[in-house]
Chains A and B, each alone.
Chain A
Amino acid sequence: MTPTKLFLSAAAAALVLSGAACASKPKPQPDTGPGPIAEGPGPAGPSGPIDQGATAPIPGSEQDFVINVGDRVYFDLDEYAIRGDARPVLDAQAQWLNRYPNVRIRLEGNADERGTREYNFALGGRRANAVRDYLVSRGVNPSRIETISYGKERPLDPGSNEEAWARNRNVHTAITGGAR
């Protein structure tokens, strides 16, 4: 998605949000996530006593997306096909995005360092677009999705070994707006 399109989406989202404050309320969505967060200590988990900062993620927030859905899927060497283990993550992303229709995302395609700069930039773009096509096929409106490639320029893992390279062949779903 070009920056111009992003601007239009931002403007459109602003209109929706301002509209919600006035006459029309957003349609109520079935609440299948954790309930509203009450003030006070949350449930004690295996990590021991919880201090005030550690509350469960607000449904529809970026944190909710990252922790409960997963914001990254991985690819095989030189491949841009959606892997078997990526499908459930992308299905969950699509469901979450369909539940929170104001959220906009940017799909960032990444490649490992074992390739030349321009070709790996192209490969990252192919990966981002493969994820985009998948999410669109699961009902996400393409106008909410921006894609970009970072090629091998922003590796998740700075290592130089097979494990690092496998982690660096990924598409990261970044929330760019509209989340709680």
Chain B
Amino acid sequence: MRLIAPAAAIFALLMAGVAPATGQTPATPPPQSGAIEGEVTEGVLRPYPIAIADFGGPHGADIAKVVRADLERSGYFDPIDPNAFIERNLDVGVTPNFGDWRRINAQALVNGAGVTDADGRLRTNFRLWDVFGEQQMLGLQYTATPENWRRIAHKIADAIYQRLTGEQGYFDTRIVFVAESGPRGKRKKVLGIMDQDGANPQFLTDGSYQVLTPRFSSNSQEVTYMALGDNFARIYLLNIETGRQETLGQFNGTVFAPRFSHDGSKVAFSVERNGNVDIWLMNLRNRSSQRLTTDPAIDTSASFSPDGRQIIFNSDRGGSPQLYVMNLDGSGVRRVSHGGGRYHTPVWSPRGDWVAFTKQTGGRFSIGVMKPDGSGERLLTSSFFEEGPSWAPNGRYIMFHREAPGVSPRLWYVDLTGRVERPVPYSGSASDPAWSPLLN
């Protein structure tokens, strides 16, 4: 059964958990330009076959390889093996022979070429072709210093992804995470940062204290994290460009669980005093701080709504750990989690439409999503142990970590439909991932 539908509509249907209706097969008309044409069999969407030819010029083959890998990892594209291409050495300046591409079932074609400009920078341009409609869909150009060829590739992949799915891309992003090593009794935990495809990993702390739960600011140059030593627990703000680091401040208690607001102007965090844990807010501009909860329960893991007006958090004030929402001044506290089980680590999607969380039921842990009012709960993954969701900036993918007895923690990601669930291509032991915004 072939279903022709505008790209955005197919994604909307998948998000709603409804499989597109199957019906009579029409005599196959050519698909609309830019449409994702999926073959829907019992609710399973086959990835979109796309041909990405090696680019010409400097880093041409490398760039094409990164674009193929990005799109393939999204779970919605199936890049065709270049060995199967019939038309070869496709110059970016000429129109492709579309018949050759139809014959290998490519629905879209990408080609491009780079040149080195007089100032030494790499300028790469590419085209995205609609094979059935026999026309160009996109033609764009990116310029960067040559060592940033990967970012050019990610931006190209983002442009293709957006044009064909209707959703904003997420490939030109970085992940901050905790790189783990050593014995379980006292793990060495250092702050790591890498491209979202696992490339360029760097380690930013020396292991003299354990790094926990790092988060990116929206301006992507600042990271906050909790540092745990033998006799201290404090929160740091680290500028990853300058390397300058400062503590959030002294609060007469142990501090942890920091999160930036979406505009980067505030940090929500937890303070433990005499066994009581509460949520506090700090305004980074004037360094004023305010206590938001006073309940004797554990109140922690605060996350801001993208409009900055509300906070969702984890509290056991009702007897077991659940999710609650409150206004930014601490008023209007209401419970939003309603299923059986224990809820933790809420994070508000950058699009505002969903919150993700870790749920524990019996002996299993799951990553799930629900609407901010608590409705529409869906579990996306489940295993012996997993936790700590973080949203991609397009609000359609979630990264988390997973471990099992005898298997040290690894980073994984899942898409919002739950159909795409893959390990992140970083081979080391890692936990607590946090996704950056799209880079400039």
Query: Chain A residues in contact with chain B, CB under 8 A?
Result: 2-4, 6, 80, 106, 113-119, 121-123, 125-126, 128-130, 133, 146, 148-151, 153-156, 158, 160-161, 176
Residues of B within 8 A of A158 (CB): 183-185
With known contacts A118-B314, A148-B231, A158-B185, A129–B275 Cβ distance under 8 A: yes
How far, in angstroms, from A161 to B210 measured CA to CA in the complex? 25
A118 B185 Cβ-Cβ under 8 A: no
- Pair A118/B228 contact, Cβ less than 8 Å: no
Query: Does residue B186 face the partner (Cβ distance < 8 Å to A)?
Result: yes
8 Å CB contact of B385 from A4, A80, A113, A176 = A113
What is the CA–CA distance of A123 and B321 in the complex, to the nearest angstrom? 11
Contact A155 B185 (CB under 8 A): yes
Instruction: Compute how far the CA of A6 lies from the CA of B232 in the bound complex, rounded to whole angstroms.
Output: 11
Q: Which one of B61-69, B158-166, B249-257 contacts A?
A: B249-257
Q: List the A side residues contacting B184 at CB < 8 Å.
A: 155, 158
A119 touches B274 (CB 8 A): no
Q: In the assembly, what is the distance between CA of A6 and CA of B231, in Å?
A: 9
Q: Do residues B256 and A121 form an inter-chain contact, with CB atoms below 8 A? A: yes
CB-based contact B254/A149 at 8 Å: yes
Is residue B60 contacting chain A, with contact meaning CB distance below 8 A? no
Residue pair A3, B298 in contact (C-beta under 8 Å): no
Q: Assuming A125-B277, A148-B232, A158-B184, is B300 touching A119 (CB within 8 A)?
A: yes
Looking at the complex, which one of B210, B275, B277, B316 makes contact with A153 (CB distance below 8 Å)? Answer: B210
Partner of A115 from the list B253, B256, B344, B405 (CB cut-off 8 Å) is B344
**Shortest Cβ distance from residue B361 to the other chain A in the assembled complex, whole angstroms:** 12
Tell whether B301 is near chain A: CB-to-CB under 8 Å: yes
B275 touches A130 (CB 8 A): yes
Nearest chain B CB to A119 CB, angstrom units: 5
Contact in complex: A122, B252 (CB < 8 Å):
no
Instruction: Convert B340-369 into 0s and 1s, putting 1 for each residue whose CB lies closer than 8 angstroms to a CB of A.
Output: 000011000000000000101001000000
Report the separation of the CA atoms of residues A154 and B405 in the bound assembly, to the nearest whole angstrom: 16
Tell me which residues across on chain A come within 8 A of B432, comparing CB atoms. Answer: 117
Cβ contacts B177-219/A at 8 Å (1 or 0 each): 0000001111101000000000000000000001011000000
B186 adjacent to A3 (CB under 8 Å): no
B272 at the interface (CB under 8 A from A): yes
Min CB gap A149→B, angstroms? 6
Least CB separation from A121: chain B residue: B256
Residues of B contacting A: mostly: strand
Q: A149-B254, A156-B185 known; 13 other A-B pairs, CB under 8 Å?
A: A2-B250, A2-B252, A3-B231, A113-B385, A116-B360, A117-B213, A117-B387, A119-B300, A119-B344, A129-B274, A133-B275, A153-B210, A154-B186
Q: Which residue of B lies closest to A154 (CB)?
A: B186
Question: How far is the CB of A9 from the nearest CB of chain B, in Å?
Answer: 12
Say whether B231 contacts A106, CB under 8 Å: yes
- Chain A nearest CB from B279 CB (Å) reads 11
Q: Top 5 closest A-B pairs, CB basis?
A: A129-B275, A160-B405, A158-B184, A116-B344, A122-B277
20 contacts between A and B (CB under 8 A): A4-B250, A116-B345, A116-B358, A116-B388, A117-B212, A118-B300, A121-B233, A125-B272, A125-B277, A126-B298, A129-B274, A129-B275, A130-B275, A146-B231, A148-B233, A151-B212, A153-B189, A155-B185, A160-B405, A176-B231
Which residues of B are at the interface with A, using a C-beta cutoff of 8 A?
Answer: 183-187, 189, 210, 212-213, 228, 231-233, 250, 252-254, 256-257, 270, 272, 274-275, 277, 298, 300-301, 314, 316, 321, 344-345, 358, 360, 363, 385, 387-388, 404-406, 432
Nearest B residue to A6 via CB reads B231
A34, chain B: closest CB distance, angstroms: 31
B185/A154 in contact, CB under 8 A? yes
In the bound complex, residues from chain B placing their C-beta under 8 Å from that of A122 are: 270, 272, 277, 298, 300
Interface hub of B272, B385, B406 (most chain A Cβ within 10 A) = B272
Are B301 and A80 in contact, CB atoms less than 8 angstroms apart?
Answer: no
Contacts A126-B298, A160-B406; is A119 near B314 (CB within 8 Å)?
yes
Which residues of chain A come closer than 8 Å to B275, judged between CB atoms? Answer: 80, 125-126, 128-130, 133
Closest beta carbon of chain A to B387's beta carbon, Å: 5
A residues less than 8 Å from B210 (CB atoms): 153
Q: In the complex, what distance in Å separates the CA atom of A141 from the CA atom of B49?
A: 72
Known: A154-B186, A158-B183. A118 touches B301 (CB 8 A): yes
In the bound complex, residues from chain A placing their C-beta under 8 Å from that of B185 are: 154-156, 158
B270 engages A116 (CB within 8 Å)? no
Residues of A close to B232: CB separation below 8 A: 3, 148
Set of chain B residues within 8 Å of A150, measured between Cβ atoms: 228
Min CB distance, A131 to chain B, in Å? 10
B311, chain A: closest CB distance, angstroms: 14
**Contact indicator A116/B387 (Cβ below 8 Å):** yes
Chain B residues whose CB sits within 8 angstroms of the CB of A160 once the complex forms: 404-406
Cβ contacts under 8 Å, B189 to chain A: 153
Using Cβ atoms and an 8 Å threshold, which residues of chain B touch A115?
344, 360
Determine the chain A residues whose CB is within 8 A of the CB of B301 once the complex forms.
116, 118-119
Contacts of B388 in A (CB 8 A): 116-117
Chain B residue numbers with a CB within 8 Å of A126 are: 275, 277, 298
- Taken together as a complex, chains A and B put the C-alpha atoms of A53 and B261 apart, in Å, by 59
